[in-house]
Amino acid sequence: MTSKKTLATKSKKSGKKPKSAAKKTPKVKDTPKKPRIGVLIADDHSVLRQGLVSLIGFEADMVVVGEASNGRQAVDLWKQHRPGVMLLDLRMPELDGVGVIKQIRADDENARIIVLTTFDGDEDIYRAIQAGARGYLLKDVPRDALIDCIRRVHAGETCFPVYLANKLVERVRGETVSEREVDVLKLMAQGKSNKEIGSALFISGGTVKSHVKNIFAKLNVNSRAEAVANAAHRGLIQL
């Protein structure tokens, strides 16, 4: 048997260094990836939904978890998927956007919902925010602004363009149209006379005249046609 001393002597003579144990490279732990932002899209127009699905599909940190074509379905899908953010239209069949926000927020007050609509009336904005919307955008918003808004709302921020925020301020400062006055406006929009409005609401003709006078003053208009147009623009009624 060859001794260790003999091996060492041979190594010196050959000029070769004895082999040492190979060093193991320490394994680098994989950095866990952040979960993607689940987005639920609720809009009754299929073409718009498809466009949003395609747009969001380009973002590495986002994924569409569901699509709803009416308000009832939007609430059900939200409860099923619990998305990070919901994009919601205001005008939805079966249950409107404000109703959707209220039902979801009753279940989870931390729900993050962005209204994405074509309506920019101050009353629309006010009702949506009052219900608990965390963002409000118009459908012609630039792509980058929409994606940025989704990320911001998911992070716990709010997202309201300056000009929409200014409309909200005007709405808060202005005189509020009462629920009864809105009822009168809706019937005015149908072309009903004061007598017909009184019969429909079970109030006297004098009371109707008083409501009409107050409506004119609050909306700063001089005719029934102006009142109806102004109310529709503000989102008080739908034509």
pLDDT tens digits, 6-29: 444 444 445 555 555 555 555 545
- Cβ–Cβ under 8 Å, residues 121 and 233: yes
Strand partners, 63: 38
- Non-local CB neighbours of 151 within 8 Å, separated by 6+ positions: 37, 61
Task: Write out the DSSP string of 160-185.
Answer: --HHHHHHHHHHHHSPPPPHHHHHHH
Q: Given pLDDT bands bounded at 50, 70 and 90, which one contains residue 54?
A: very high
- pLDDT for res 155: 95
Q: Please give the Cα distance from 159 to 148 (Å, whole number).
A: 9
- The Cα 137–Cα 120 span in angstroms is 9
pLDDT at 105: 95
Question: Which of 18-22, 106-110, 212-216 is least confident?
Answer: 18-22
Choose among 79, 87, 30: nearest CA to 55.
87
Provide the terminal-to-terminal Cα distance of the chain, rounded to the nearest Å. Answer: 105
3-state secondary structure of 54: helix
Amino acid at 227: A
| For residue 140, pLDDT beyond 80 | yes
Furthest-apart CA atoms within the chain: distance in Å: 124
* Tokens linked to 1: 């048997």
The answer to pTM > 0.85 is no
CB 58 within 8 A of CB 81: no
Alpha carbons 117 and 169: distance in angstroms, whole number: 19
